[in-house]
């Protein structure tokens, strides 16, 4: 039996059919019973129908909520609707969400909770101008990572809005990795945008926030005026190359030995990258490794990483750090900053953020109808030349030799910052704020 999904559900299935891709792009989703849940994604583009069937193991709560069905006639003539805003705004905020720095440029940053798509997002914001800038953080970060940009943007009349993405900080942390698909996260943001009373916003993304921003532009370009993305370039979906399966096929179940492969095709550098990614994808393993260390030490290890080479996480000794070991901080990062990050990750845990990695294969499956789709919003891309993401195999060739411009035809500016690492918006806050403002002033 084929069921259409009701518009009001706040479950995994219900986030997907609410995607509307614009005047000639729509997406609907059907689900049928029996064994595993099976999703049929149907994307309509230029009067052509592109379909993709995906099997997913759904929680019982989702199966119980599927109740509407329609005939073939109804399916054929079903009207497609955009994501509708169901966000209610709590403007009260909470002292527990306030940032440790409350004076100077940080004065006046307010906090509130916004219910969206069945979860609550914590939002930090400043400014009351008509132009909204949505700032999307990465891992292991929080909306706090945008503290400098919030101050700079609001000072020039922008309304700067930075959420803790689902799974982070004071936002809700769904336990199931399947609740971290790009459909879920983009659905959260569209509801947030509409709760702000906006049709379109400026968007800035970094790390996982950049990947989310690319998907927002791919699914809902009608919601984005212009985009500044950092560190993680857009990479098109490659049919037949599932991310995690590709890594396991290349490096084997005992993937840590890939660091010692003599075959040129699988260099030690690639092996170490695989180690880092696959370690993140094994449920519970990374959490156990982080638990061995203090939360503040984990945060320090990540945020101070400033090496163009891959992050080495050997299978035999994890992060290779003793719990009592300390890490020297760069000038742009204070103990107060670390303590704030640590306090939030001690409360929420790291699983929410790690689930973004664990949903990589599921995202690959679900985005099959978008294979070959271009990003068609104005874009500026910024990356540090010491960023490990910039040195991932094939990235520089893609960025500099035409692939990036082919897939992002409205790419207007590419900035490679000399001597700058991965956490670029914190390492060079003033320079990044200026680059963002310089671009958005054009629109």
Known catalytic residues are 207, 357, 422
Radius of gyration of the chain (CA): 21
Give the angle 56-59-62 at the CA atoms, nearest 5°: 95
Give the Å distances, CA to CA, from 151 to 146, 227, 375: 9, 19, 29
| Exposure string over 115-135, b if 16+ CB within 10 A, otherwise e | bbbbbbbbbbbbbeeebbbbb
Residue 189 has, within 13 A of its CA and on its CB side, a CA count of 35
Strand partners, 380: 228, 413
**Positive or negative, the Cα torsion across 209, 378, 146, 216?**
negative
CB 280 within 8 Å of CB 352? no
Looking up tokens 């290349």, which residue turns up? 250
Contact between 17 and 6 under an 8 Å Cβ cutoff? The reply is no
Q: What is the largest CA-CA distance in the chain?
A: 66
């Amino acid at each position: 039996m084929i069921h259409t999904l009701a518009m009001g559900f706040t479950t995994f299935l219900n986030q997907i059919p609410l995607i509307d891709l614009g005047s000639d792009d729509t997406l609907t989703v059907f689900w049928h019973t029996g064994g595993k849940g099976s999703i049929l994604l149907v994307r309509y583009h230029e009067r052509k129908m592109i379909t993709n069937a995906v099997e997913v193991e759904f929680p019982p709560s989702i199966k119980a909520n599927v109740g509407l069905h329609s005939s073939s006639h109804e399916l054929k003539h079903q009207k497609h609707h955009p994501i509708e805003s169901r966000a209610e705004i709590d403007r009260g905020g909470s002292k527990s969400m306030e940032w440790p720095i409350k004076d100077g440029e940080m004065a006046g940053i307010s906090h509130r909770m916004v219910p969206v798509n069945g979860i609550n997002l914590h939002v930090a914001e400043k400014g009351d101008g008509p132009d909204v800038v949505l700032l999307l953080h990465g891992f292991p970060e929080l909306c706090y990572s945008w503290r400098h940009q919030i101050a700079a943007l609001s000072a020039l009349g922008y309304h700067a809005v930075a959420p803790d993405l689902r799974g982070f900080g004071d936002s809700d942390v769904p336990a199931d990795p399947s609740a971290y698909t790009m459909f879920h996260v983009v659905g959260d943001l569209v509801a947030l945008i509409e709760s702000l009373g906006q049709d379109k916003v400026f968007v800035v993304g970094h790390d996982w926030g950049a990947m989310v921003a690319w998907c927002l532009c791919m699914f809902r370009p009608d919601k984005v005026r212009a985009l500044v993305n950092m560190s993680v370039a857009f990479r098109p979906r490659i049919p037949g190359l599932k991310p995690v399966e590709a890594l396991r096929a290349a490096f084997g179940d005992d993937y840590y030995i890939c660091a010692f492969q003599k075959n040129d095709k699988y260099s030690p550098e690639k092996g170490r990258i695989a180690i880092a990614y696959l370690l993140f994808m094994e449920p519970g393993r990374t959490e156990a490794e982080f638990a061995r260390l203090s939360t503040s030490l984990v945060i320090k290890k990540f945020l101070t990483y400033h090496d163009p080479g891959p992050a080495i996480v050997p299978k035999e000794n994890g992060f290779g750090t003793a719990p009592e070991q300390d890490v020297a901080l760069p000038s742009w990062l204070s103990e107060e900053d670390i303590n704030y990050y640590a306090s939030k990750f001690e409360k929420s845990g790291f699983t929410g953020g790690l689930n973004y990695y664990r949903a990589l294969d599921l995202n690959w499956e679900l985005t099959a109808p978008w294979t070959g789709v271009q990003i068609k919003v104005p874009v500026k891309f910024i990356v540090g030349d010491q960023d490990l993401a910039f040195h991932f195999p094939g990235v520089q060739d893609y960025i500099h030799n035409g692939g990036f411009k082919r897939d992002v035809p409205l790419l207007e500016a590419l900035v490679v910052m000399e001597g700058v690492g991965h956490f670029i918006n914190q390492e060079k806050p003033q320079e990044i704020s200026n680059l963002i403002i310089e671009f958005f002033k054009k629109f």
